[in-house]
Structures are given as structure tokens and as C-alpha cells.
Chains A and B, each alone.
Chain A
Amino acid sequence: SQTIHQWPATLVQPVGSPLSLECTVEGTSNPNLYWYRQAAGRGLQLLFYSVGIGQISSEVPQNLSASRPQDRQFILSSKKLLLSDSGFYLCAWSSSSYNSPLHFGNGTRLTVT
């Protein structure tokens, strides 16, 4: 069966520090991969998605970036965190077939201080 791993579960970082969140998927090949963010009291915001290695689509211009160095690995990065980057970050995967649902990781709670 397919599983998705996301880490760390919680992270406290100072303003201006770098960020790296990692997500890996097991049990499937060539998945579509996604990064979402939930700010406190707000809905899901799609940040990036990828349909293949090296293919990244950005939905929101900001100081975050994403990379997909391997088929089942998706990394969210920042060179310098802002206070507004605080939130709950969720990685998800889906197959590329029609009507495929998203499968979410357990999320990373990021607090920028």
C-alpha cells in the first residue's frame, strides 16, 4: 500500500533562518505531489505542485520554493523565513489518473519567531 511521510512534525525557527521540509511517498511511482499551507483559522492554500521530476508549478509568489529531486521526494524550502510563513504545512500525493483523490501527510507545524 502507499504511504506518505512528512517531517518534521513541528518546527520552531527564527525569522531570517532557512527552511527545509521533506516529503516522501512509498508504494507508487510517478505520483503528482503537492505542498499546501494552512494559516491559523484559514483554509488550504496550494503552494506548489509537481507532475514529474524537475517539474514544479508555483501557485503563489512568495519566498518559498519547492524541488523534486527524485520521483517520490518533494522538498519545500526557504532561504529566509518571514513571520508570515508560520502555519501548518501539508504534503500530499495523487495519481495522475482521472478522479484520483489526494492523500495527505500528517503535516508540519511551523512557528517562525
Chain B
Amino acid sequence: AQSVTQLGSHVSVSEGALVLLRCNYSSSVPPYLFWYVQYPNQGLQLLLKYTSAATLVKGINGFEAEFKKSETSFHLTKPSAHMSDAAEYFCAVGYSGNTPLVFGKGTRLSVIA
């Protein structure tokens, strides 16, 4: 079965520091991968998606993620954290058009001034 593991349910960084949120997936077929962000009491917003065109994917709000097949990873990074980045982040993996995405349990990012 497909699965997604997000290491760390809570990550705390200082404002201006590097943000690294980890995501590993299990798959026997080439996956497509997504990162979503959720602010309190809101729906999930798509940050970026990997669809095999390029291994380094740039998203909104300065975030990017790199697909590493050998490590089955799709970690999310941002060079310099901003207070507005504080939110819940979800990694998701998909395999076909009509099969629901599989979501990780989420990582809550706190940014300290």
C-alpha cells in the first residue's frame, strides 16, 4: 500500500532561518507528489507539485521541494522563514487520476521572532 511519512509533527524555527520539512513516501510505481499548506480554520492550499518534469520544484511563497528517487523523499525547504509561514504542512502522494491522494499526518511549523 502507498504511504507517506512526515518526520516531525512539529518543527520550530527562528525567523530568517532555513525551513526543512521532511516527507518520505513508499511506492512501487512512479508517484506524483504534492505539498499543501493549511492556515488555522482554512482549507488546504496547494504549495507545489512534482509531476516528473523536473526534480526540483518551485512553489508559491518561496518554497521549493526536491524529488529524490533513491531516497524516496520529497522534502520541502525555504531559505528564510517568515512569521507568515507558521501553518500546518501536508505532503501527499498520488498514483493515478481516480485514486485518492494519500496524505501524511502533517507537520506544524512554528516561526519564532
Contact between B100 and A49, CB atoms less than 8 A apart: yes
Contacts of A44 in B (CB 8 A): 44, 90, 103, 106
In the complex, the chain A residue whose C-beta lies closest to that of B34 is A101
A-B contact count (CB 8 A): 57
- A51 and B99 CA atoms in complex are apart in Å by 9
Residues 31-52 of A contacting B (Cβ, < 8 Å): 32, 34, 42-44, 46, 49, 51
A102 within 8 A of B: yes
* A32, A90, A98: the one within 8 Å of B43 (CB): A90
Alpha-carbon separation in the docked complex, A106 to B95 (Å): 26
Q: How far is the CA of A92 from the CA of B97 in the complex (A)?
A: 14
Decide: A106 and B90 in contact? CB cutoff 8 A.
no
- The verdict on A68 contacting chain B, using a C-beta distance below 8 Å, is no
Number of interface residues of A (CB under 8 A): 27
A100 at the interface (CB under 8 A from B): yes
B100 touches A46 (CB 8 A): yes
A101 to B94 alpha-carbon distance, docked (Å): 9
Say yes or no: is A20 at the interface (Cβ < 8 Å to chain B). no
**B36 surroundings in chain A (CB, below 8 A):** 102, 104
Beyond A43-B103, A49-B100, A107-B41, is A99–B94 a contact (Cβ under 8 Å)?
A: yes
A98 touches B42 (CB 8 A): no
Determine whether A96 belongs to the interface, using a CB cutoff of 8 Å to chain B: yes
Instruction: Give the chain A neighbours of B105 by CB distance below 8 A.
Output: 42-43
Smallest Cβ distance from B44 to chain A, in angstroms? 5
Decide: A101 and B46 in contact? CB cutoff 8 A. Answer: yes
List of B residues within 8 angstroms of A51 by Cβ: 98
Q: A101-B49, A102-B92 are in contact. List 7 more A-B contacts (CB 8 A).
A: A43-B104, A44-B90, A96-B98, A102-B34, A102-B36, A106-B43, A107-B41
Can you list 25 A-B pairs with a CB-CB distance of less than 8 A? A34-B100, A43-B90, A43-B103, A43-B105, A43-B106, A49-B100, A59-B100, A90-B44, A92-B44, A95-B97, A96-B97, A98-B97, A99-B49, A99-B97, A101-B49, A102-B34, A102-B46, A102-B92, A102-B101, A104-B43, A104-B44, A105-B43, A106-B42, A107-B41, A109-B41
